[in-house]
């Protein structure tokens, strides 16, 4: 029987691939607002501003909705694992209420847009669950159900989830949604263009000067002047507020395959932190359902045998849902803020015209849409009830989120300083088998060396161009990953994901 090959890209990018790229600006530009990054946060911000009559240019280094947003699991839920009990304990009941309202209004705004414009994006209303199979975690889930209900969500504690296996208990929130993110965002991009917004692809911004106006410089040397700037590049590429000390990158694997209707659950599911498994389904063109499973998270560059991790996830999908053939596999990347609340607002304490949206954890769909409204309100001087909740200036590290902050900084220091001091034995380049990669010391310099399937060596500097940490090889994805802040590079050093904006320098191995 013919077995369809496993596609190493997301289902969303596979079914709606990027078409002809929109050209970059052909000369200097002046606009009201420049948005850097065309994921869901950037495009949602651009939409909110264009529909309010502002002139907007979106500058995307790669392709629209093809980075982190193109690799999401695309759940639109206000239930974010166990956020409400934590929020009411750390920031109070009003903060929990505002969080619930802001996320719920984002989902409603997307639903309204889909209905108004007739967007065909596989939109489905579905309940969201945080579930556990471990009885000793039930008190946490009961507390979360109570906190989420108190925050205003239609939440309850349940033991029936629709999953084809028993659970100890779950928090259920009804009336949430799931969709095809690229279908939605391609329609949103059309709407932005239709309202006069300009979208530029393959336009990497490499410089930002805040002022009146702010001036952005692209890699091609084009200057973009704007009254306000939004940095929506997932991990912020410009960061004078040192937000990178308050964000931890997390890579998470995803597998997908057709699931039998009898075992296809109706909702969206996630387990609490620590042993994360997440699942949802999506409609297939043939009328069947695709199961999408996420898990096996790790700090980029520290995933060990990532191939084996994909195997674990596939085995879990087979065991729990009877999925006997995977059609797709890919990886998502998230940034966790120190207090698990996104950072949306002024880029740094003195900033008046430059804003940022980052730190959505695993919840960038509702978070990105929420950020679009919040940033449009800030830029247009419109009061927003939850601007303080998400204000990036709120965090006083060490004092408030000391444990998380110090742990992440210790990890960064280890990769930044420790990797320079420790010099473990390195195999010579001729010891690399096809598909392998390693950091080698060549003429006293650290080189990131990969041998491709044809036997050719690819050698680049192993120093990340963001702040100089050593990159590490991910053999399953054939990428170099930086453990400090999550930058990713292809085997020839090209930037796949920031905050780095410059490629790894080529190295000559002299072979």
Residue 281 near residue 259, CB atoms below 8 Å? yes
DSSP 248-288: EEEEEEEEEEEE-GGG--SSEEEPPTTS-EEEEEEE-TTS-
Q: CA quadruple 296, 498, 231, 123: dihedral positive or negative?
A: negative
Cβ at position 426, least distance to ligand FES in Å:
20
Rank residues 440 and 500 by Cβ distance to ligand FES and give the closer one: 500
Residue closer to ligand FES (CB basis): 192 or 482: 482
CA 103 – CA 121 distance, rounded (Å)? 20
Q: From residue 282, give the alpha-carbon distance in Å to each of 36, 177, 286, 287.
A: 30, 11, 12, 10
218: Cβ–Cβ under 8 A, 6 or more apart, which residues? 24, 25, 59, 203, 204, 205, 206, 224
Q: Which spans of this chain sit near ligand FES (rule: CB under 6 A)? A: 464, 466-469, 482, 484-487, 499-500
Query: Minimum Å distance from CB 498 to ligand FES?
Result: 8
Reduced to 3 states (helix: H, G, I; strand: E, B; else coil), residue 119 is coil
Note the helical H segments in 283-381: 306-321, 364-380
Residue 248 structure tokens: 């931890």
Residue closer to ligand FES, measured from CB, 242 or 399: 242
Helix spans in 335-448 (H)? 364-380, 387-390, 402-413, 419-421
CB of 489: closest distance to ligand FES in angstroms? 10
Q: Rounded to 5 degrees, what angle do the CA atoms 86, 354, 416 make?
A: 65
Tell the smallest beta-carbon distance from residue 467 to ligand FES (Å): 4
Nearest distance from C-beta of residue 500 to ligand FES, angstroms: 6
Q: Output the smallest distance, CB 486 to ligand FES, in A.
A: 6
Look up tokens 């904006």; give the residue. 501
Question: In terms of CB distance, is 163 or 472 closer to ligand FES?
Answer: 472
Q: Which residue has the tokens 């109706």?
A: 266
The two three-digit tokens of residue 288, written as one number: 């069947």
CB of 484 to ligand FES, least distance (A): 4
Q: Is it true that the peptide bond before 499 is cis, omega within 30 degrees of 0?
A: yes
CB of 6 or CB of 206, closer to ligand FES: 206
Q: Which is nearer to ligand FES, 269 or 480 (CB)?
A: 480
Beta carbon of residue 36, minimum distance to ligand FES (angstroms, whole number): 17
Q: Which is nearer to ligand FES, 329 or 466 (CB)?
A: 466
Q: Which two tokens stand for residue 166?
A: 């028993």
Residue 76 or 469 with smaller CB distance to ligand FES: 469
């Amino acid at each position: 029987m013919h077995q369809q090959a496993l596609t190493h890209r997301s289902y969303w990018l596979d079914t709606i691939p990027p078409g002809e790229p929109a050209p970059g600006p052909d000369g200097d530009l002046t606009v009201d607002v420049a948005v850097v990054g065309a994921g869901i946060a950037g495009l949602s911000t651009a939409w909110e501003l264009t529909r309010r009559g502002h002139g907007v240019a979106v500058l995307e280094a790669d392709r629209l909705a093809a980075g982190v947003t193109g690799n999401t699991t695309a759940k639109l839920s206000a239930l974010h694992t166990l956020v409400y009990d934590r929020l009411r304990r750390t920031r109070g009941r009003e903060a929990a209420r505002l969080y619930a309202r802001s996320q719920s209004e984002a989902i409603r705004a997307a639903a309204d847009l889909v209905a108004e414009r007739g967007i065909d994006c596989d939109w489905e209303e579905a309940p969201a669950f945080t579930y556990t199979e471990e009885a000793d975690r039930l008190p946490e889930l009961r507390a979360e159900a109570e906190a989420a209900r108190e925050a205003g969500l239609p939440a309850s504690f349940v033991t029936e989830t629709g999953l084809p296996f028993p659970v100890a208990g779950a928090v259920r929130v009804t009336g949430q949604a799931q969709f095809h993110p690229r279908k939605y965002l391609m329609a949103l991009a059309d709407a932005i263009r239709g309202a006069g917004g300009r979208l530029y692809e393959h336009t990497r911004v490499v410089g930002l000067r805040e002022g009146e106006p702010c001036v952005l410089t692209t890699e091609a040397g084009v200057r973009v002047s704007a009254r306000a700037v939004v940095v929506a590049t997932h991990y912020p590429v410009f960061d004078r507020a040192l937000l990178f000390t308050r964000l931890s990158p997390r890579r998470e694997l995803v597998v997908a395959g057709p699931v039998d209707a009898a075992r296809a659950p109706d909702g969206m599911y996630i387990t609490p932190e620590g042993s994360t498994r997440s699942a949802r389904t999506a409609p297939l063109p043939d009328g069947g359902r695709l199961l999408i499973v996420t898990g096996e998270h790790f700090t980029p560059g520290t995933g060990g045998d990532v191939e084996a991790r994909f195997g674990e996830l596939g085995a879990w999908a087979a065991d729990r849902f009877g999925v006997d053939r995977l059609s797709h596999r890919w990886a998502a990347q998230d940034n966790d803020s120190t207090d698990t609340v996104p950072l949306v607002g002024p880029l740094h304490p003195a900033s008046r015209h430059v804003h940022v949206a980052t730190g959505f954890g695993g919840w960038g769909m509702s978070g990105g849409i929420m950020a679009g409204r919040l940033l449009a309100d800030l830029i247009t001087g419109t009061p927003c009830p939850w601007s303080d909740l998400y204000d990036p200036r709120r965090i006083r590290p060490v004092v408030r989120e000391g444990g998380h902050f110090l742990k992440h900084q210790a990890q960064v220091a280890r990769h930044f300083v420790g990797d320079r001091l420790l010099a473990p034995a390195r195999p010579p380049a001729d010891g690399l088998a096809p598909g392998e990669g390693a950091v080698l010391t060549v003429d006293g310099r650290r080189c990131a060396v990969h041998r491709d399937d044809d036997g050719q060596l690819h050698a680049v500097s192993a120093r990340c161009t963001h702040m100089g940490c050593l990159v590490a090889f991910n053999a399953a994805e054939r990428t170099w990953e930086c453990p400090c802040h999550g930058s990713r590079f292809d085997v020839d050093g090209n930037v796949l994901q920031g905050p780095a904006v410059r490629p790894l320098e080529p190295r000559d191995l002299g072979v």
